[in-house]
Amino acid sequence: MHPFMTIFRRAAAVTLIILAVSAQCLSAQKSKTVFTAQDFAHVIHEISEVMVHDVVGPTSAGRYYAYCTIAAYEIIARSDSADFKELSGILNDFPSIPRITSIEKFNPGFAACYCTARMGMEMLPSGYMLDTLKQELVKRAEKKLGREVTQSSVDYAESVVKAVVQYASKDHYREIFGYVKYTPIDEPGKWKPTPPAYMQALDPYWNRIRPFVMTDAAQFKPVPCAPYSEDTASSFYKQAKETYETGVSLTDEQKFIANYWDDNPFAVQQVGHIDYGLKKISPGGHWMSITGIVCSVKNFTMQHTVQAHALVALAIADGFISCWDEKYRSNRIRPESFINEHIDRNWLPLIQTPPFPEYTSGHSVASNAAATILTRLFGDHVPFTDNTQLEFGSTERSFKTFNDAAAEASISRLYGGIHFRDAIENGATQGKQIAQWVLEKFGM
């Protein structure tokens, strides 16, 4: 055979091998991207829908989001340990979960979505409502990935779910509901139930919950609030007067902002002698939605989308533990109660006062914690449009930065008439500090 023909045939053979390998690589890459950032955001949205249905409060919502997303994060970390740290060295008491044994028969994107849905089923009171979502995920995986990869991914995801549910069972959540019923302190300046429903205090023992990343509930104890005083020259009275005067002279824009960021799962509407629950998303749920929106628009990889949701959820969850620790330490009266007693008996806040003490502002803590995480992940100047409230009858709202959104969410509590300024400002600082701690623990 002519030497040229021999060389030609060898070159052709090499070309065919390269093409075959390339095709396999493209096929493998395609299988990894069957489930995207949009899919994970959709799973979180469906979990939020169940929370709204169950009227889950801000503290419990933060806890649920954290457990659901750390399970997904651990799947990503155990399949891509080079870029993502496993949680056993970061979260308090978190167990070491075995690595995946057969990575070629495993799809991390599907497993993360499936695992998150299953965690919601296990953790939420009405978790059964997520069964349809779970089945849809499996059907799609079987169609796109094949039954072998799907089943292998399901098996590993179920092992992670089992481990994380067991981890959650030891965080003292069940125990705190067996404590003595909380009785409001009958002293001047202390919190008392407010209209229209006069609900009992929400989660007064939440500081007993095991933190995820913080060393303890008081690690980021804020500076003390302004001392209670009925003296018109005192700092406290001036803040009360500010809340009152702001409330009686609100612009249309301020009213919109207050309602946009209300995020009160316990809001009720009175019709005659009957109270109807309005069923709104929680502050944490609002920021989890924003996280999903931005990850989807920016086409984040599945791995980084899961990471973003987990970090935001952890900062929010620990933020509420820290915030509630302070709320029931300072036990400060709400503006509505003080203003009615000492300034204007007929004054009402624009939005309903939630059923727990005033200092610090939970929304300020959660919003600034989430914004700090998102700013680190995406950058300082990332404009985005939040459409979270569309399904709750409001509109889209655009922001130039995450910090702008957090600042607006924080000041909305003054416009709404449910907080004093120091609770807002010191709550914002508290949230930022907690988020920085979370980022440091993750080496970011």
- What is the C-alpha to C-alpha distance for residues 191 and 197, in angstroms, rounded to an integer? 15
The domain spanning residue 200 has which CATH number?
1.10.606.20
Alpha-carbon dihedral sign for residues 356, 239, 264, 120: negative
Q: Looking at residue 3, what is its pLDDT?
A: 44
Report residues of the chain scoring pLDDT below 70. 1-33, 81, 267-278
**pLDDT tens digits for range 12-26:** 443 433 333 333 433
- What is the C-alpha to C-alpha distance for residues 95 and 101, in angstroms, rounded to an integer? 18
Assessment of whether the complete model's pTM goes beyond 0.75 = yes
Same-domain pairing of 161 and 260: no
The secondary structure element, H or E, covering residue 269 is: strand 268-271
Q: How many domains does the chain have?
A: 2
End-of-domain residue from the set 173, 206, 234: 173
Same-domain pairing of 331 and 213: yes
Same-domain pairing of 430 and 381: yes
| Residue 404: CB atoms within 10 Å | 15
Same-domain pairing of 256 and 373: yes
Same-domain pairing of 194 and 148: no
Same-domain pairing of 314 and 288: yes
Q: Is 106 helix (H, G, I), strand (E, B) or coil?
A: coil
Provide the 8-state DSSP code for 332.
Answer: B
Identify whether 51 is part of a domain: yes
End-of-domain residue from the set 148, 173, 198: 173
Closest among 58, 35, 63, 38 to 120, alpha carbons compared: 63
Query: The tokens 């965080």 sit on which residue?
Result: 171
Cis? peptide before 196, omega within 30° of 0: yes
- What is the C-alpha to C-alpha distance for residues 367 and 410, in angstroms, rounded to an integer? 7
DSSP, residue by residue, 405-418: HHHHHHHHHHHHTS
Residues 374, 290 contacting (CB under 8 angstroms)? yes
| Residue 71: CB atoms within 10 Å | 31
The domain spanning residue 118 has which CATH number?
1.20.144
Identify whether 6 is part of a domain: no
The secondary structure element, H or E, covering residue 277 is: strand 274-277
- Contacts for 125 with CB less than 8 Å, ≥ 6 apart: 54, 56
End-of-domain residue from the set 147, 173, 199: 173
Q: Looking at residue 12, what is its pLDDT?
A: 42
Q: Looking at residue 33, what is its pLDDT?
A: 67
Identify whether 21 is part of a domain: no
Residues 191, 185 contacting (CB under 8 angstroms)? yes
Same-domain pairing of 210 and 87: no
- What is the C-alpha to C-alpha distance for residues 310 and 321, in angstroms, rounded to an integer? 17
**pLDDT tens digits for range 312-325:** 999 999 999 999 99
Residues 236, 226 contacting (CB under 8 angstroms)? yes
Same-domain pairing of 58 and 166: yes
Q: Looking at residue 28, what is its pLDDT?
A: 40
Identify whether 258 is part of a domain: yes
Identify whether 141 is part of a domain: yes
How far from 93 is each of 67, 156, 213, CA to CA, in Å? 14, 21, 10
Beta strands, E only, 147-278: 268-271, 274-277
Same-domain pairing of 104 and 218: no
Q: Looking at residue 268, what is its pLDDT?
A: 53
Identify whether 146 is part of a domain: yes
Identify whether 216 is part of a domain: yes
Same-domain pairing of 125 and 168: yes
Same-domain pairing of 164 and 199: no
Residue span of the structural domain in which 123 resides: 35-173
Q: Looking at residue 100, what is its pLDDT?
A: 86
Identify whether 83 is part of a domain: yes
Cis? peptide before 395, omega within 30° of 0: no
Q: How many CA atoms lie within 13 A of 240 on its CB side?
A: 29
Tokens of 252: 């249309």
Q: Looking at residue 81, what is its pLDDT?
A: 66
- What is the C-alpha to C-alpha distance for residues 153 and 141, in angstroms, rounded to an integer? 10
Q: Looking at residue 88, what is its pLDDT?
A: 94
Same-domain pairing of 198 and 163: no
